[in-house]
Structure 1
Amino acid sequence: MPNFRELGNEHFKAGRFKEAEQQYTESILTVSRNDPKIFTNRALTRIRLQDWAGAETDARKAIELHGDKTNITMKPHFYLAQALLQQRRIGEALAEALQAYQICLETKDSSAEVISQHILRIKKMQWQTKETLRIRRMEHTLALLETLLEERLQKDLTELEERFKRGEIGETGRDEEKAELEKEADERRHEVREKLGNPTMPNTADRVVPDYLIDPITFEVMHDPVITPSGASYERVSLLKHLRAHGTDPITRRPLSEKQLITNMALRNACAEFLENNGWAVDW
């Protein structure tokens, strides 16, 4: 009997993802229906094929088959996060990505850096979704106010014309009052637009990231900051990468180990709140 898993692996490495999926499916149907690794492999293959629902199903099955062995479920959790994100289930995607990230930290897996970036992308998408809704609400409000202002102007002009017909006001007075009403309407429209602003144009003056939220190593916004004995805070994965290469505190140059790092919860909460309201900062 051919080894369908190995054939699937060969097709995957060659970029033949549809063929790889077929071989992994054959393996599941014949000998590997209880093997979480084959479902993990097919989940990744389906991600490459952009079959997000299929990838979700396989990733969940892999997690289920792993059972209590949560320390080896990093890949299916990460694949599940990717599949959910593409289906716009952003909250679920973030939860799965955070779980994969935590497993990386516990097992010292080098994928932590990649997953950390993915978490930031999810948070950016969360913000974009909220921003889209905000813009729609603002545009609707602006259109509604402008409609009301126009209706008010037309009502005033109609009343003015009726006064003219009744002889209560002359032609010159009517023309002067009409010009004044139209001028006031224009000023009100301008004031409304100025107060609300252009909902699609951000205030660039507000687009500043506070220094204390920026990782001194990568100069990017942090989401999982840790504090060192010297009192400085860094993004966890960037500091761990530095420690693997140098083994010293970036500032004091004294020996530093992972055990000495403490999660900076206050700063983490500040970073989370900032990113929730300023998703653009992911690409800052």
Structure 2
Amino acid sequence: MVNADVPHDPAKALEYKESGNKCFQAGDYVQAEALYSKAINHDPSNPLLYTNRSMALLKLHLYPRVILDTRHAISLLPHNMKAYFQLAQAQIALGDPSSALTSAKKAHEFCVEECMSGGKGASSIGPITELVLRAKKEDWERKVPDWCVDDITFSVMLDPTKTGQSYDRSSIMEHLRRSPTDPLTREPLQVSDLRPNLALRAACEEFLQENGWAVDW
């Protein structure tokens, strides 16, 4: 919360921010958060101060406050890679992988844009990509039953075939072009050995009809 009685003073805000950075680097996240809050009081329209404070709040596991700060930072600077990245971390920590995936994808989009324009995004692309994959995996595991998932591509099977183990036809055909073996058992396997799994196909089709979002995974 901003103290309206504190005079607007960007220079003073910068002093508090730099002191907060030193505390953060020393591992004193409580003091860092307090100093960033003082900086915000002196310059409440600076989006970078909110992402600095939310960085400390993440370390303190105060995730609801992280969400408030990052959303405010985004309202001040919509193309805010750091804010979306921190927001995604808080959302996944609070058990909301679906929202985290949306936020992480935004962070990734802005990170790529920054890289292409010669900015500093290159150092962030790895952690952001990892977070996208983690959120996608957690969201997937929460929603998609194991029997729908192809063990080669980890997507929902559209045309299951059975060889003992069921695979989607397109993925097993692609695998057999590279290696005439079962992907899991490594035993010899030919295209002629494949048989349609009609019961599983019907079940997968029903699942996709009821959960259209799964087609995009």
TM-score (norm: length of structure 1): 0.45
3-state DSSP of counterpart to 1:15: coil
Name 1:209's counterpart in structure 2.
152
Pairs within 5 Å for 1:13-24: 13-24=25-36
Q: 1:82 to 1:210 in 2, by over 3 A?
A: closer
Q: Which amino acid aligns with 2:151?
A: V
Distance 2:18 2:141 in 1: 41
Name 2:106's counterpart in structure 1.
99
Q: What is the CA-CA distance between 1:123 and the residue it aligns to?
A: 1.0
Distance 1:107 1:19 in 2: 31
The partner residue of 1:43 within 8, 33, 54 is: 54
1:124 aligns with 2:151: no
Q: Which runs of 4+ in 1 moved over 4 A?
A: 272-276
- CA-based RMSD of the aligned residues comes to 2.6
Name 1:27's counterpart in structure 2.
39
Distance 2:56 2:18 in 1: 14
Q: 1:126 to 1:210 in 2, by over 3 A?
A: closer
Q: What is the CA-CA distance between 1:113 and the residue it aligns to?
A: 2.2
Q: Which amino acid aligns with 1:37?
A: L
Distance 2:57 2:141 in 1: 26
**Retained in 1: the 8 A contact 2:84–2:104?**
yes
How many residues of Structure 1 are paired with residues of Structure 2 in the alignment?
A: 140
The partner residue of 2:97 within 83, 90, 94 is: 90
Distance 1:59 1:24 in 2: 14
Please identify the structure whose Cα radius of gyration is greater. 1
Q: 1:275 to 1:49 in 2, by over 3 A?
A: farther
**Retained in 2: the 8 A contact 1:8–1:20?**
yes
Distance 1:210 1:102 in 2: 24
Distance 2:61 2:129 in 1: 22
1:81 aligns with 2:92: no
Q: Which runs of 5+ in 1 are unaligned?
A: 135-201, 212-271, 277-284
Q: Which runs of 5+ in 2 are unaligned?
A: 1-11, 116-120, 155-212
Name 2:64's counterpart in structure 1.
53
Distance 2:55 2:96 in 1: 18
Greater helix content: 1
Q: What is the CA-CA distance between 1:88 and the residue it aligns to?
A: 1.8
Name 1:220's counterpart in structure 2.
none
TM-score (norm: length of structure 2): 0.58
Q: Which has the higher contact order (CA 8 A, sep 6+)?
A: 1
